[in-house]
Structures are given as C-alpha cells and as structure tokens.
Amino acid sequence: MADFDVDLFVIGGGSGGVRAARIAAGHGARVMVAEEYRMGGTCVIRGCVPKKLFVIGSHVHEEIEDAAGFGWSIGQVSFDWATLVANKDKEIARLERAYTANVEKSGATVVKTRAVLEDAHTLRLATGEQVTAKYVLIATGGAPNHGPAIPGIEHVISSNEAFHLKELPKRIVIQGGGYIALEFAGIFAGFGSDVTVIYRGDNILRGFDEDVRKHARAEMEKRGITIITGCTVTKVDKHGEGFTTHLSSGSSIASDQVMFAIGRHPNVANLGLETAGVAINPANGGIQVDGWSKSSVDNIYAIGDVTHRTNLTPVAIREGHAFADTVFGKRPVQVDHATIPTAVFSQPEIGTVGLTEEEARAQFSHVDIYKTDFRPIKATMSGRDTRVLMKLVVDGTSDRVLGCHIVGDDAAEITQVVAIAVKMKATKADFDATMALHPTAAEELVTMRSPTARHVRQAAE
C-alpha cells in the first residue's frame, strides 16, 4: 500500500465516517478523515443529540403540571430559551471535541477542510493539498430538503436553524409529517409555543403502522398541537417580524416562524463523483452501493445517509464498522438492514421494530394482532388525559412475533429491548412464557393473551 499517501481517506466526520476511521486504524490502516464543518456530523451537531436534549427540556412543563396530583405544590416557574440554547451548545462542543480526540487516539489523522475527488484514488483538499488513497469512503450524510421552490421559501427555516433561534417563537407553523416535523412540534409545544403542523398526506407518519398513526395524532392533538392534513404550504409572506403562511386549501396562518421538515437529500453535490465515475442511484438520489457498501468504483465505498438507504445514525455506524472489518480486517461483514428498531421522539414517544400490520398481511397468509390501549399509572393520579398503545404483530402460522409498536412514555427504551427478541425470531409463546415485571407499562407485552384480530388471506383461485 506504500504507493498511496494513505490506505483510507474518509470524506465526512460524522458518526459513520468516524466509526469506519477508528476501526480501520485499529486494523493497522493509515487513515485520514476530512471534515469541512464540525466533527460529529448531523447526529451530534444538528440532529439526534441536540434534538433529544430539547425534547427532555420540553417535558419539564408537563412534569410540573402532573406534580400536583402527587401532592407537590410548585410555585411560579419561568423558562429561558437562551439558557437552553447556550447549555446545548456547550454539550455539543464537548461531544465534538470527544469525537475528534477519539479519532486521533485511534491513530487516524483529522483535517478540517473540504475534500473533492479528482479521480478514483486522488483527493484535492480545499487547502490546495493533494492526497492519494488506496480506498475512499464517502460519508457526507444528508441535508434538509425544502422541496419545490415556492414564493417566500427564503423565509423558511429547517431543523438546522431551529437549534439556534434567538428566541422561542410564540407561534410556529411546521410543514411535514415525519420524524423531524413531529419531534419539533412536540418540542415547541412543550415550551409553550402555539404549533400548527401541515402535512400533504391523509395522516401523519407515512409508512408507520396505521394504529400508531391514529393514536399518535390523537395524543398530539390532546396536547394542543393543530394538525392539518391533505394540504401543503404554497406561499410564505413576511410582515415585519411575523409571517403569513398560505395553504393549498385557500386558508392562511399567521406565525412568528415557519419551519419545513419535509425530507432530506443526500450530500452528493460537488464531491467530484462524476469525475471519479461514482454512480448515483436514480431511485433515491444517493450514492449507489451494493450489499458491502461498495460504489460503482471498486475502491470507493459509501455509508450512511449519503446512500439514502436507511437514514439512521446506528445504521451508519454499523455500515462504517462493517466496511472497515471487510476491507481492512480481513473479516467480511455485511449489514443486515432488516428488523431495524426506530423511534420518533415526538410527544408521545413512538418506538417500533419489525413489520407493520399492513406489511405483515401482505407477506403472510395468517396474521394475528394483539393490541392494548390503556391509561398509564401516572395518569391515574396526575389526571392527565393520555393513553398508551402497545401492539404485537404475529405470524399466525409459526407464532413468530413479526413486529412491535408502542406509543407512550419510554417507548424507545422498551422497543430497544424488544428488538432483541424480534431479531432472535422469538414467538408469541416466548413472550407469554416471560414473567411480567409489575407495575410497568411494558408488562402488557407479555400479558396480552387473546388476539384482538386474526387475518387470513384467501388463496387466489
């Protein structure tokens, strides 16, 4: 490998790129990582981590309200948005330093600059330096996509800017019905904003189980969030410090901020991909890769959101680790993209793993559904009008649990553990044989004995 300056050049210092760099360096490779912005990528700097910190903070108001039912008398309280943002910034800066330090401790080199492919093995840094590499890994992630240009699009913020607002908006309009839109709807509502969600589809959370979609929407509306479906934003007017959002339905909404969270696109532009011969997947706009994360060029690989396969941080990390083990560790590893647990940190929280009821009924001839909808124990004393949904999707022939869907407090924490059972192909009988842990919400998963529905698909004649 001495013919090249490095064995591996990683473009992008996010979660996936960092994991690949560290593992490859651990296998003895000479590694260089180029990051033009901040180490940590979308998740650490402008995604899951700051989002979760904001979610935690936004829950406090509800906790204070619920406290009265448990005997607490709490006086007047106040919230300062600027303090939240400043403390979040300190934590993100700490994590960024940790990411950089961990890469350097592994023996890899970090360069804080942009890198562009000049050919399959040559990279040009923004500093003017040229570096040759035997292998190149592209891990540049994705960015918010505002969709078609509409009048006033320049007034719209994305989740990136939402983390750095100078003040909490009294009223905000959010277009979108997926993870990011609903998470920020809960965040702003929790801190006291008047929130309106606009979504083009018939209901929020496209692709999720239908029961989850209905339950989550009802619970969000109970919390005062207005959800308008079946229309889109067609124009945004600015009036002094405020905005008027015009909808395709003909109505309009006044607010202090307008945020779009309608999807993300892979960061593939201006990387020199065409020059190096790297193909783009026409179906999703990401870098086209095979099951080993290899692109159309033998020595160039891509992982994470830039491939637009499954845009989740743990997936990018697993792909980066597998790449490094395969190419530098002499241990071929392919990532299994099936049965990936996922969470929406909306309010209420959503956790899901495996197949939805609709997916299962399309794939299996016999499907049993176990479902429960109940008032959590905390609400019996706090008086809060809220309910938890838990649902198991089971193959009626083999008894294997195909999917689990939870809406309620700690849904993500519960789902992470259930995902182990689903991955191990546990049966409903295995769940039934597991002793309940009482009193918990999760015990419902092992105490649901009778199906709420049985579906049998008739064979085609």
Catalytic residues: 438
Other residues' Cβ atoms within 10 Å of the Cβ of residue 102: 15
Q: What is the dihedral of CA 152, 153, 154, 159, to 10 degrees?
A: 140
Q: Which helix (H) or strand (E) holds 366?
A: strand 366-374
What's the gap between Cα 234 and its chain centre? Answer: 27
Q: What is the DSSP string of 76-114?
A: -----HHHHHHHHHHHHHHHHHHHHHHHHHTT-EEE-S-
Alpha-carbon gap, residue 7 to 152, rounded angstroms: 47
CA dist., res. 247 & res. 236, Å (int): 9
Q: In what order do the strands lie in the sheet with 342-344?
A: 342-344, 350-354, 401-407, 388-395, 366-374, 453-456
Q: What backbone phi and psi angles, to 5 degrees, belong to 55?
A: -60, -45
CA neighbor of 5 nearest in space, from 115, 139, 134, 138 = 134
CB contact at 8 A, 153 and 235: no
Scanning the structure block, which residue is given the tokens 């890769």? 289
SS3 329: coil
